[in-house]
Structure 1
Amino acid sequence: MRVLLTGVGTRGDVQPVVGLAAEMRRRGHDVRLCVPPNFIDWVGGLGFAATPIGIAMRPPSGAAAQASAPTPEQIRALVAHLVRDQFDATAAAAEGCDVIVAGGAHQYAARSIAERRGIPSVVAVYAPVALPSPDHAPGGEPGGDPEANLRRWQDESRSWNERLLERLNDNRERLGLGPLSDVLGHVLGNAPWLAADPVLGPPPATPGAQVTQTGAWLLPDPTPLVPELEAFLAAGERPVYVGFGSMPVDQQTGRSVIEAVRAAGRRVVLSQGWAELARVDDAADCIAIGDVNHQALFPRVAAVVHHGGAGTATTAARAGVPQVIVPMFSDQPYWASRVRALGVGTSVACGALSAESLLAALRGALDAGVAARAAALAGAVAVDGTAVAADLIERAAA
């Protein structure tokens, strides 16, 4: 079987798709990938053929700080370009494929290309709050008034239509397909997948849609830790890991988190991330690192401070360590709420982040009871999400 797997966005959007690709390849299937240009070399190094889709999500070093905010006209032009590019890239990569699986909610072309080719397709989301539901508002924390939540989802659907409906229909017309009236409903379909752990992210009520929860798609990572990090870990008690991935945090945030971790009496492993956070001095209690194998590192730290991405939250939970989440946007507030609800960590609102607020949250996360619950949760996190998804793909294409 030949399968096309497509992922758009940052590392957190793309890596789950690559994890599923690895499982499909292990089963002997021919796998093609569509990923943003800045991930082409990475997936190529893993042995996958890939077609670039969209734009490089990571700007060149220093560009983020220098770039001015785009104008509304520039945003409209960019959206039009991205939609057309998705259609063109997906159509080219799907040639000869038997099924298309698209990871993430912003997959504007996958289901249309599959419709044109007459092959099965599915869109998988990585967080329950990406699914319209009375249980939550769009991207929000669980709870609230169900009727109010549904009204906000109606507003969300109208917003998607205002931004995208004309552009999707223009591209569908190029394929000889009929027009749409509901972009979000089309993108998700009536049978989306939820690629999230059922303990961390239980399925919400989804009237009108039959959701299949596969579990999180994890990419096994055999990469060893670099010798400098190994030496740092061996030189004292377990440190606290701090990293915000692709989030645009400033250097003051880096200084605040280092100050907070030191005030808690812990050493610091500082992930530089896309913001290129830096050490504030040369003290031996802090090490700055680039990309690192979280699966190898997290079981060896005392706590994980992060932005609340689905992948990072799942990996930390699987490692059995407490978490402190500083959510910024999208599904991150949801994961912060789940960590609190499960009693395996704490959170700090991004706008309230300071050395003092983070210190209080870190002390809460390092509490013995929280640490014990985090350790107990590790055994409940499913590790077979890609296998479940692969079984479904094989059945769909049979």
Structure 2
Amino acid sequence: MRVLLSTIGSRGEVQPVIALAVQLREAGHEAVVCAPPDFREWAGSLGVTYVGVGPELRATAMRTEGVVPTAEQRRTMIEGTVAAQFAAVRAAAEGCDVIVGGGALAIAAGSVAEERGIGYVYAAFAPLTLPSPHHAPPVFGLPGEEPADSPLDNRTLWAQDAQRWNAMWGAALDAQRGAAGLAPVGDVSRHLFTGTPWLAADPTLAPWPGSSELEVWQTGAWMLTDHRPLPAEVREFLDAGDPPVFFGFGSMHAPAGIARTAVAAARALGRRAIIARGWAGLSLDEAAPDCLLIGEVNQQALFRRVAAVVHHGGAGTTTTAAAAGAPQVVVPRMFDQFYFARRVDRLGNGRAHGGGEPTVDSLTAALGRALEPGTAEAAHALAGRIRTDGASLAARRLVAG
């Protein structure tokens, strides 16, 4: 069997589909990942066949930070990315039996599957992104600011969300479909999500609340087991004192001055700090024995040895920290990160940082609560409930048809 896994996004979207590709390969099947070119080398190191689509996201994100496109620029960008996806996904789908679209920006996946007459599966990475009367749709707001609650009921909000999908993506999608001899799509989000989506999120950390309109299968998170040893400098730093606090914001634009704020908050609580550079390129003002600046490392191994993990609330980082039993402080920046912040707070395995940009005082307060013995106990207990077989279950179901 040959499976195409298509996604658009940063590591939070790409790592899960690579995990599924690895599981398929280990089961004796072929898998191709079609995603932004940023992760081609990493996928190759894992033996995963990889087809790039579009420009490198990291360079684009850094170049366009704070830039608000005009309506014409947005239309041109949407047409460009949809056309690029159709071209790349069509080429990568050669000889495939099924296409998996990972995340809502995999616009072309379902249409290419329809064009070729093969199966299509849509997978979401957070329950909040799928329509349900039990939650409102996620919306983009100012970085770090959670969108205000709406007086409208959730069904109305999802109907409005569907209209936004149609207005943003409908014309470009239908143009590509028309060129392929396919009928126009009346409801873009329904076309992408289907009526039977999969939810690649942990059922304890991020449970599906239910819906009468969708038949959702929750697989558990698609986690990629990381076997890499920690770099020597990281091991030496860990061995040199009490467990430090990890601070990292992954592929996100980090809050202004966050490295300085993080070090000050850790020191206020008598803790050492590990700062991950991430895509934001965080740096320290000066070298100090109680701080370590690191690049990309095995977080599964690192998080088992830290006192707490302070992060942006991406699905992958939240799940990895939960599985490691590490208390968390979630400083959400956008979209579904606010959902994961609330879940961590509710489960008691960490704390959500309040709205607004973190200050030394606010981050110290949130970190102090996360370091309390009760939070550590809750985090340790929760770790045993986090499933790690989601990608394996998904692979078996794909093969079974």
The alignment's TM-score, normalised by the length of structure 2, stands at 0.95
Write the letter of the residue equivalent to 1:196.
Answer: A
Structure 1 residues not aligned, in runs of 5+: none
In 1: Cα distance, 2:227 partner to 2:151 partner = 44
Determine if contact 1:232/1:287 at 8 Å carries over to the other structure.
Answer: yes
SS at match of 1:31: strand
Give 1:256-267 correspondences, 5 Å limit. 256-267=261-272
Deviation for aligned residue 1:388: 0.8
Determine if contact 1:322/1:371 at 8 Å carries over to the other structure.
Answer: yes
Give 1:195-214 correspondences, 5 Å limit. 195-214=200-219
Deviation for aligned residue 1:118: 1.1
In 2: Cα distance, 1:131 partner to 1:381 partner = 21
Residues 333-378 of structure 1, C-alpha deviations (whole Å, 9 max, x = no match): 0000000110111111352411100000001101101100100011
Moved more, 40-49 or 110-119: 40-49
- Gap change, CA 1:225 and 1:51, over 3 Å in 2: same
- Gap change, CA 1:4 and 1:348, over 3 Å in 2: same
SS at match of 2:379: helix
Say what the alpha-carbon RMSD is for the aligned residues: 1.7
Determine if contact 1:134/1:147 at 8 Å carries over to the other structure.
Answer: no
Deviation for aligned residue 1:45: 2.0
Write the letter of the residue equivalent to 2:89.
Answer: T
Determine if contact 1:271/1:288 at 8 Å carries over to the other structure.
Answer: yes
In structure 2, the partner of 1:279 is 284
In 2: Cα distance, 1:58 partner to 1:297 partner = 24
In structure 1, the partner of 2:16 is 16
Determine if contact 2:195/2:215 at 8 Å carries over to the other structure.
Answer: yes
Large movers: runs of 4+ above 6 Å: 144-147
Determine if contact 1:339/1:345 at 8 Å carries over to the other structure.
Answer: yes
Residues 48-76 of structure 1, C-alpha deviations (whole Å, 9 max, x = no match): 221111331101797466x7443332221
Determine if contact 1:191/1:211 at 8 Å carries over to the other structure.
Answer: yes
Deviation for aligned residue 1:147: 6.4
In structure 2, the partner of 1:220 is 225
Determine if contact 1:305/1:323 at 8 Å carries over to the other structure.
Answer: yes
Deviation for aligned residue 1:320: 0.4
Question: How many residues end up aligned between the 2 structures?
Answer: 393
In 2: Cα distance, 1:26 partner to 1:170 partner = 38
Determine if contact 1:24/1:390 at 8 Å carries over to the other structure.
Answer: yes
Query: Alignment identity in percent?
Result: 48
In 1: Cα distance, 2:63 partner to 2:290 partner = 30
SS at match of 1:58: helix
The alignment's TM-score, normalised by the length of structure 1, stands at 0.95
In 2: Cα distance, 1:319 partner to 1:278 partner = 26
Give 1:314-393 correspondences, 5 Å limit. 314-349=319-354, 351-393=356-398
Determine if contact 2:7/2:105 at 8 Å carries over to the other structure.
Answer: no
Deviation for aligned residue 1:281: 2.2
- Pair 1:28 & 2:33 matched: no
Determine if contact 1:107/1:123 at 8 Å carries over to the other structure.
Answer: no
In 2: Cα distance, 1:293 partner to 1:268 partner = 17
In structure 2, the partner of 1:76 is 75
Determine if contact 2:247/2:273 at 8 Å carries over to the other structure.
Answer: yes
- Gap change, CA 1:377 and 1:62, over 3 Å in 2: closer
Write the letter of the residue equivalent to 1:90.
Answer: V
- Pair 1:44 & 2:66 matched: no
Residues 216-238 of structure 1, C-alpha deviations (whole Å, 9 max, x = no match): 00011111111011100000000
In 2: Cα distance, 1:180 partner to 1:146 partner = 30
In structure 2, the partner of 1:137 is 136
Determine if contact 1:344/1:374 at 8 Å carries over to the other structure.
Answer: yes
In 1: Cα distance, 2:105 partner to 2:224 partner = 21
Determine if contact 2:255/2:358 at 8 Å carries over to the other structure.
Answer: no
SS at match of 1:59: helix
- Gap change, CA 1:85 and 1:205, over 3 Å in 2: same
Residues 96-155 of structure 1, C-alpha deviations (whole Å, 9 max, x = no match): 1011111111121111111111111111010000001111111279xx899611111111
Write the letter of the residue equivalent to 2:153.
Answer: A
SS at match of 1:136: coil
Residues 149-192 of structure 1, C-alpha deviations (whole Å, 9 max, x = no match): 11111111111110111111111111111111100010000000
Write the letter of the residue equivalent to 1:52.
Answer: G
Write the letter of the residue equivalent to 2:389.
Answer: D
Structure 2 residues not aligned, in runs of 5+: 140-145
- Pair 1:102 & 2:107 matched: no
- Gap change, CA 1:212 and 1:194, over 3 Å in 2: same
Determine if contact 1:264/1:363 at 8 Å carries over to the other structure.
Answer: yes
- Pair 1:165 & 2:170 matched: yes
